[in-house]
Structure formats: structure tokens, C-alpha cells
């Protein structure tokens, strides 16, 4: 049994040393080169580190970033990727939770990391690649590691405006990658097309599947996802066979005219996740790729990106709602009612997950960890952790899980988890905004904010852009006299929704 | 037509000054989901069909480029 992802990696390096592991439109790196880079980074970090706290990584969407992540793992630490394009306030909030002693930044981001890095030692990634490799030390670190050691920390939206750092262990990650590659049928001959930013949970497949199987990943630049013809030409040229993309990548490409003039020639394994796939969009992709396997995946970052999957075995009809299917290997699902009792067959309940794929909790945040990660209430005999997803599900007659929305105000927008409360909180901090209410028009995929106060719309939009990530900034903002209320004083959400339907522009 | 295009753009991204902005797509000002809203609103407003062929940064990088593209499609 493997206890560390580096054991996967080292086997693959010895099996396929000269094979390309990662590439983008400009560069490529073989498994052997990646191993040398990662070991150099690992030796350098091990030399300066004094404890086992996580190392923050500020690095762009490029192949060197993978060397940085693996280097941190070699040094015996967990890595926490930080997207340097986020607003200052957001990054500061992440760093306050993380308190990293060491920050690795690439050339492009080192200045910004210096501006923001609080009391951290900041090292430049590129300069670490020439550091001498200390094999004995790295062997010793690996020898002492255990399977439940944290591998990475990924930050997601939190309703109080403070992002949550989800900690994933080597064990959890290996269970998920193992289950996913077997469902998708991915092996060393595949070429993965990466769409997700590398700091985001969906990217763990594109990073770790090559390390396990010896296949390779091509990082597709973001701008290609706005031009379907150019994207398809690139994917055909690079012979991309498998993708795991957010639903929004498919819906955006479809709205932008995918398949109108170009076909995909090599793609044959497709997994989509992040939000509910409109069947109209799926149908178009199925009709254009009749030989391909299509898999609908559901699951939160807290359960290593996933829970369940559903392999679509027929061309869908336009009004069909897809089930989210059955649990992956090593995932267990129960549906609980509000009294934490298991619901009866066919009833709605909160989707709760257990198994070795559960995160180690939220970093430096025992309160929110205790709220979401609980003792399995159906189990008194021994200690078994369970994660409450906040999602509502139902098991249908075929024994497959269906998704029925959220218990709270969390939504999925363009593949990202967004707490509407967090947007309202950010708005409340802006001068000239008194009250606000944020809603999501899921059909048009637009966030809408209704607010009261003296601030002008461009001012509010500009101020939000400085405190929350771009995808969370509402695209429709309307200033009004008062927020509609119900008799009990709560916001009348239906009135707010109607308001935005009436005011198209 | 230019004013209408600016009005549509401003409704999608109120924080950007579109009168003078250049490199809307190539400079990363508009994100992919902004582009989707923009195309659907432009198609409705001017009754044109903007297909995948038109989706190159040169056609969307400035207000003038957008106006020129719509005129060529009408």
C-alpha cells in the first residue's frame, strides 16, 4: 500500500522517465525533469523550514507550479496554493488563517507576495530549481511520513467573509484519484486537457493522474475557452483524450457556438462537475461525440472534490434531469433529516459523507470544523467522522442519488462555490451602502444585487472587485429605496427575484 | 449604435469605463461569462447572429471593434 503520493510519482518516474508529464502552449516537462525540479525545491525548503506548518505557493497557471507543489511535498509540508490575481483583502484573509512561515512565489508574483506576505520568508521558485538535491534528507522525510499527513489546503468561500481552508490528506487524495481513474478508464496512453486553475480543487485530477498513471496533462490557456474553434483546433493538435471540466466550461463554449464549424477528433472521456449540467448542453456534446464516455460527478471539496458519479448510458433528452448517481469506491453516503436520523427510502434528506476521503477539517478553524464534520449520528459503537454537505438529496427508484438544491444560501456559479451571504457582507462594508440582498439567476447564470444607500452602481461594483474574487462580483446591481420585506421582517426573496426579472437592464 | 453597445457593456460590467477601454478580451478585462452575456444581449438588441467564427479577440477588444463587427453582420 502506498502512503504518500511521492511513492506513486517515483514509480512513474522510473517507468516513464523521458515521457512528457505536463505541457502548455510554451513549455513541456518530462517526468524525470519534474522529479529533479521537485527534489531541488524540496531540498531547499527542508533546509530552511523549522516546523511542519503549510507552505503557501503563489504561482501562475503553468507547468513550473506543479514542481513547486511537489517540491513542498518532498520537504514534508502541505502546500496551500494562493491565486495571486485575487483582491488584496481576500489574500490577506487567507494568509491570516494560514500564517505561513514560508512562501514560494514565481518570478511574476514575487513582488506581490512581498507586498502581502506577513512575517513569512519569501523564496523565488525559479531560483530553487538549481538548489543541490539532498537525497538522504528527502528519503528520511518520506520514510517518516504517514498516509494521513496533510497534502494540500484549498480555500473556498465562507459565509462570514472569511475563506475556509480545506485540508486534504495523501490518503484521501489517493482514494479519489484511484476511484476516478477506474471509473473514467484513464491509463498511461491518455492526454488530459486541464481547464481549472491550479489552485482550485478540480485541478487535483490533472495534477495527480499523470503522477499515478504516467499519462500527461496539457494546461489549456484560459482565453481558449472563449473561442471554441481555436480551442478545438488546439485540442485536436495536442491529441487530448480526456477532460474533467466544470459544467460552466461546457455551457459557455456551447453559448459561444461550439461544434458549429469545428469538430473534436480525439476527445473520448468527459467528466463534468461543479453544478447542474443543463441537458440541452449535454445533448449537443453527446451528439457531436457519440463514441465518448460522459460522467456526471457530484461532490464538495471537503470530500476530496467528489462523492458520487453517474455514467450517462444514453443520449439525454432536452428536459431530463440527470441523477448524481452512486458513491465512488471508498465513499459512503447517507441522507439525514433535521434530527440527524436517516430518512426513509425515497425521502429528501441532507447528503452526508463518510470514509477515508473526508478532509482533515478547516485549517486553524476548530469551530467551523466541528459544525460540519460530526460523529456519524447513526453510529454509537465507534468513532466515525461524517461531513454534512448542506446539499439535499433523494434516492430514486433505481437506487441512484438525485440532487435537490441547498439547505443554505450557497450557490454554484461558473463552477465556483459562492455564499450569497458573503457577497452581502462585502457590500455592507462599502461606504454608502446601507442594506443589500443578493440573489442568483441560475438560468442566466447571473448574480444580482439589490441595495439601498447613496453609493452609485459603478462605485459599488468597483469596491466589491477590491474585496471579493471577480466571479463573485454581481453583474446586475440595482439601487432601490427599500429592500422588500416579509411581515416577519425577513427579506422577501420572491419580490427581489421578480424585481430583477422586470428590470432586465 | 455606439451608445447602445456602451450601455450594454456597462450593464454587464458597471466597474469598467468602456469609452476608452482597449484590450477588453486580449487584456483580460472581460471574463468568459461576461462574453456570453454580451453576445446574447448584442444578438437580441441588433438582431444579428454572432457565430463561433466571429469569436476572435479582435472583434471584441474595444467598443469600436464590436460596432464594426455588428455592422458587418447586418
* Angle between helix A170-184 and helix A203-213 axes, rounded to 10 deg: 80
Task: Return the number of other C-beta atoms located less than 10 Å from residue A126's C-beta.
Answer: 15
At residue B47, the 3 state secondary structure works out as coil
Considering the domain architecture, whether residues A140 and A241 belong to the same structural domain is answered as no
Residues of chain A positioned with their CB less than 8 A from the CB of B58: none
B58: domain range?
2-73
Looking at residue A504, its pLDDT comes to: 57
Considering the domain architecture, whether residues A366 and A427 belong to the same structural domain is answered as no
Instruction: Residue window 6-65, chain B: list those with CB within 8 Å of chain A.
Output: 7-8, 11-15, 25-26, 28, 31-37, 39-41, 50-53, 55-57
Q: Which of the residue ranges A14-18, A47-51, A157-161, B65-69 would you say has the lowest mean pLDDT?
A: A157-161
Rounded to the nearest integer, the mean pLDDT of chain A is: 94
Runs of H (alpha helix) within A49-153: 63-74, 88-98, 110-116, 125-128, 135-144
Please choose, from the candidates A433, A237, A389, A247, the residue with its C-alpha nearest in 3D space to the C-alpha of residue A322.
A247
Q: Is residue A239 part of a domain?
A: yes
A44: domain range?
13-145
Residues of chain B positioned with their CB less than 8 A from the CB of A275: none
Q: Give me the mean pLDDT over the A451-470 stretch.
A: 92
Total domains in chain B come to: 1
Instruction: Say what percent of chain A tops pLDDT 90.
Output: 84
pLDDT tens-place string over residues A298-349: 999 999 989 999 999 999 998 888 999 999 999 999 999 999 999 999 999 9
Looking at residue A137, its pLDDT comes to: 98
Q: Give me the mean pLDDT over the A273-289 stretch.
A: 93
Who contacts B71 (Cβ-Cβ below 8 Å, separation ≥6)?
B1
Residues of chain B positioned with their CB less than 8 A from the CB of A278: none
CATH of the domain at A439: 3.30.300.30
Considering the domain architecture, whether residues A111 and A18 belong to the same structural domain is answered as yes
Q: What whole-number distance in Å separates Cα of residue B40 and Cα of residue A81?
A: 35
Backbone φ/ψ region at A282: left (φ over 0), alpha (ψ -120 to 50), beta:
alpha
Q: Is residue A20 part of a domain?
A: yes
Q: Which residue in the set B11, B35, B37 is minimally distant from A226, CB to CB? A: B35
Strands A476-479 and A446-453, how do they pair?
parallel
Q: Which of A362, A379, A404 is the last residue of a domain?
A: A404
Q: Is residue A397 part of a domain?
A: yes
Considering the domain architecture, whether residues A137 and A36 belong to the same structural domain is answered as yes
Considering the domain architecture, whether residues A141 and A20 belong to the same structural domain is answered as yes
Looking at residue B52, its pLDDT comes to: 84
Asked if ipTM goes beyond 0.95, one says no
CATH of the domain at A359: 2.30.38.10
Looking at residue B51, its pLDDT comes to: 87
Split chain B (74 residues) into runs of 10 and give each run's mean pLDDT: 91 85 87 86 90 88 94 91
Q: What whole-number distance in Å separates Cα of residue B7 and Cα of residue B19?
A: 10
Q: What whole-number distance in Å separates Cα of residue B21 and Cα of residue B46?
A: 22
Q: Which residue in the set B12, B33, B56 is minimally distant from A252, CB to CB? A: B33
Please choose, from the candidates A252, A113, A468, A24, the residue with its C-alpha nearest in 3D space to the C-alpha of residue B30.
A252
Considering the domain architecture, whether residues A248 and A364 belong to the same structural domain is answered as no
Residues of chain B positioned with their CB less than 8 A from the CB of A457: 14
Looking at residue B36, its pLDDT comes to: 86
- Interchain pair B12, A261: CB under 8 A: no
Q: Which of A404, A428, A452 is the last residue of a domain?
A: A404
CATH of the domain at A133: 3.40.50.980
pLDDT tens-place string over residues A225-254: 999 999 999 999 999 999 999 998 999 999
Instruction: Residue window 213-232, chain A: list those with CB within 8 Å of chain B.
Output: 222-223, 225-230
Residue entry with cell 437592464: A505
Q: Which residue in the set B14, B40, B57 is minimally distant from A458, CB to CB? A: B14
Considering the domain architecture, whether residues A19 and A122 belong to the same structural domain is answered as yes
Q: Is residue A318 part of a domain?
A: no
Q: Is residue A469 part of a domain?
A: yes
Q: Is residue A316 part of a domain?
A: no
Q: Which residues pair with A342 in a beta bridge?
A: A336
Q: To the nearest whole angstrom, how far is the Cα of B40 from the nearest Cα of chain A?
A: 8
Q: To the nearest whole angstrom, how far is the Cα of B55 from the nearest Cα of chain A?
A: 6
Total domains in chain A come to: 4
A444 touches chain B (CB under 8 A): yes
Q: Which residue in the set A229, A470, A476 is minimally distant from B31, CB to CB? A: A470
Helix (H) or strand (E) holding A352: strand A349-354
Report field, pTM of the whole predicted structure over 0.80: yes
- Interchain pair B36, A256: CB under 8 A: yes
Looking at residue A161, its pLDDT comes to: 78
Looking at residue A503, its pLDDT comes to: 66
Considering the domain architecture, whether residues A415 and A370 belong to the same structural domain is answered as no
Considering the domain architecture, whether residues A418 and A391 belong to the same structural domain is answered as no
Residue A365 pLDDT > 90, yes or no? yes
Considering the domain architecture, whether residues A460 and A367 belong to the same structural domain is answered as no
Q: Give me the mean pLDDT over the A120-144 stretch.
A: 97
Considering the domain architecture, whether residues A139 and A28 belong to the same structural domain is answered as yes
Residues of chain B positioned with their CB less than 8 A from the CB of A461: 13-15
Residues of chain B positioned with their CB less than 8 A from the CB of A475: 12-13, 33-34, 37
Q: Is residue A241 part of a domain?
A: yes
pLDDT tens-place string over residues A381-403: 999 999 999 999 999 999 999 99
Looking at residue A396, its pLDDT comes to: 96
What's the pLDDT band for A109 if we cut at 50, 70, 90? Answer: very high
CATH of the domain at B64: 1.10.1200.10
- Interchain pair A258, B52: CB under 8 A: yes
Considering the domain architecture, whether residues A485 and A399 belong to the same structural domain is answered as no
A461 touches chain B (CB under 8 A): yes
Looking at residue A401, its pLDDT comes to: 97
Q: Is residue A17 part of a domain?
A: yes
Q: Which residue in the set A256, A458, A465 is minimally distant from B55, CB to CB? A: A256
Who contacts A202 (Cβ-Cβ below 8 Å, separation ≥6)?
A195, A196, A244, A245, A246, A273, A274, A305, A415
Strands A20-23 and A28-30, how do they pair?
antiparallel
Amino acid at each position: 500500500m502506498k502512503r504518500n503520493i511521492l511513492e506513486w510519482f517515483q514509480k512513474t518516474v522510473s517507468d516513464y522517465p523521458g515521457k512528457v508529464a505536463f505541457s502548455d502552449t510554451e513549455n513541456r516537462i518530462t517526468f524525470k525533469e519534474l522529479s529533479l525540479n521537485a527534489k531541488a525545491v524540496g531540498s531547499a525548503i527542508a533546509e530552511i523550514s523549522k516546523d511542519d506548518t503549510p507552505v503557501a505557493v503563489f504561482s501562475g497557471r503553468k507547468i513550473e507550479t506543479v514542481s513547486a507543489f511537489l517540491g513542498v511535498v518532498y520537504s514534508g509540508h502541505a502546500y496551500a496554493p494562493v491565486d495571486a490575481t485575487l483582491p488584496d483583502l481576500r489574500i490577506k484573509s487567507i494568509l491570516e488563517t494560514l500564517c505561513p512561515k514560508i512562501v514560494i512565489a514565481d518570478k511574476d508574483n514575487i513582488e506581490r507576495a512581498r507586498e502581502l506576505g506577513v512575517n513569512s520568508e519569501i523564496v523565488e521558485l525559479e531560483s530553487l530549481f538549481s538548489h543541490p538535491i539532498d537525497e538522504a534528507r528527502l528519503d528520511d522525510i518520506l520514510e517518516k511520513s504517514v498516509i494521513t499527513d496533510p497534502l494540500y489546503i484549498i480555500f473556498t468561500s465562507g459565509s462570514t467573509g472569511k475563506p475556509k481552508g480545506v485540508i486534504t490528506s495523501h490518503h484521501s487524495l489517493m482514494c479519489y484519484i484511484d476511484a476516478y481513474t477506474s471509473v473514467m478508464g484513464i491509463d498511461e496512453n491518455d492526454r488530459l486537457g486541464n481547464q481549472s486553475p491550479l489552485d482550485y480543487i478540480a485541478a487535483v485530477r490533472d495534477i495527480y493522474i499523470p503522477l499515478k498513471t504516467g499519462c500527461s496533462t496539457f494546461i489549456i490557456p484560459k482565453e481558449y475557452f472563449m473561442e471554441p474553434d481555436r480551442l478545438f483546433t488546439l485540442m485536436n493538435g495536442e491529441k487530448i483524450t480526456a477532460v474533467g471540466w466544470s459544467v460552466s466550461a461546457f455551457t459557455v463554449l456551447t453559448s459561444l457556438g461550439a461544434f458549429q464549424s469545428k469538430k473534436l477528433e480525439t476527445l473520448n472521456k468527459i467528466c463534468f462537475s461543479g453544478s447542474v449540467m443543463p441537458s440541452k448542453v449535454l445533448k449537443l456534446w453527446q451528439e457531436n461525440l457519440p463514441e465518448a464516455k460522459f460522467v456526471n460527478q457530484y461532490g464538495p471539496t471537503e470530500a476530496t472534490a467528489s462523492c458520487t458519479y453517474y455514467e450517462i448510458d444514453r443520449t439525454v433528452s432536452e428536459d431530463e434531469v440527470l441523477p448524481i448517481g452512486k458513491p465512488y469506491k471508498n465513499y459512503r453516503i447517507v441522507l439525514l433529516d433535521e434530527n440527524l436520523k436517516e430518512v426513509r427510502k425515497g425521502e429528501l434528506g441532507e447528503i452526508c459523507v463518510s470514509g477515508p476521503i473526508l478532509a482533515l477539517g478547516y485549517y486553524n478553524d476548530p469551530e467551523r470544523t466541528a459544525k460540519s464534520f460530526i460523529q456519524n449520528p447513526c453510529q454509537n459503537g465507534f468513532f466515525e467522522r461524517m461531513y454534512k454537505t448542506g446539499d439535499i438529496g433523494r434516492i430514486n427508484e433505481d437506487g441512484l442519488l438525485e440532487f435537490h438544491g441547498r439547505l443554505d444560501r450557497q450557490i454554484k456559479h461558473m463552477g465556483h462555490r459562492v455564499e450569497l451571504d458573503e457577497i452581502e457582507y462585502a457590500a455592507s462594508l462599502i461606504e454608502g451602502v446601507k442594506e443589500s440582498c443578493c440573489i442568483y439567476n441560475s438560468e442566466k447564470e447571473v448574480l444580482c444585487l439589490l441595495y439601498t444607500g447613496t453609493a452609485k452602481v459603478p462605485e459599488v461594483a468597483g469596491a466589491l472587485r477590491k474585496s471579493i474574487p471577480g466571479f463573485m462580483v454581481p453583474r446586475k446591481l440595482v439601487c432601490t429605496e427599500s429592500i422588500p420585506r416579509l411581515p416577519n421582517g425577513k427579506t422577501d426573496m420572491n419580490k427581489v427575484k421578480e424585481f430583477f426579472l422586470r428590470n432586465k437592464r | 449604435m455606439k451608445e447602445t453597445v456602451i450601455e450594454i457593456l456597462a450593464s454587464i460590467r458597471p466597474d469598467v469605463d468602456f469609452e476608452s477601454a482597449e484590450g477588453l478580451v486580449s487584456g483580460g478585462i472581460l471574463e468568459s461569462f461576461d462574453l456570453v452575456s454580451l453576445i446574447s444581449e448584442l444578438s437580441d438588441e441588433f438582431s444579428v447572429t454572432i457565430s463561433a467564427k466571429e469569436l476572435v479577440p479582435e472583434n471584441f477588444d474595444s467598443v469600436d471593434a464590436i460596432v464594426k463587427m455588428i455592422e458587418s453582420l447586418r
